[in-house]
Amino acid sequence: MYALPDPIWPVAILAFIQAGDAVMCIKPLPFIAQCFEDVNWPRRYWWMMPPLKFAAAAGLIAGIWLPYLAAITCAALVLYFIVAITMHLRARDFGRNLFLNATGMLVICIATGVYSFLP
């Protein structure tokens, strides 16, 4: 395993995606709010999503220079999306949010981890 990402560009793209997602969660866009409601995510916890997503973006960017930080952040994102997929399955939400958003992001996070951190 590499301590620093090599190549860097997948990590930078994932950070950009996370930052964009965080911005869209500040005042959740209608499709994001609907996703939260579909998986029964309590409204009182919606405020947590932007800081978590901004922290992920920051961890990925800082991890370009700090050994192992981007790899750990990438692994945390994999776990986050596994939990998200589980929530969709438990709520029987088998639509676009499960297959395109959550599963798509899981694939992107795994691909980033494999491509940038494994020899």
Q: How many helices (H) and strands (E) does the chain have?
A: 6, 0
* Domain layout of the chain by residue ranges: 9-117
Residue 119 has pLDDT above 90, yes or no: no
* 74 neighbors 14 (Cβ within 8 angstroms): yes
Contact 39, 93 (CB under 8 A): yes
pTM of the predicted protein model: 0.93
Mean pLDDT of 101-116: 96
59-63: long-range contacts, CB 8 A cutoff, minimum separation 24:
60/11, 60/12, 60/14, 60/15, 60/18, 61/11, 61/12, 61/15, 63/4, 63/5, 63/11
Question: Would you state the pLDDT for residue 60?
Answer: 98
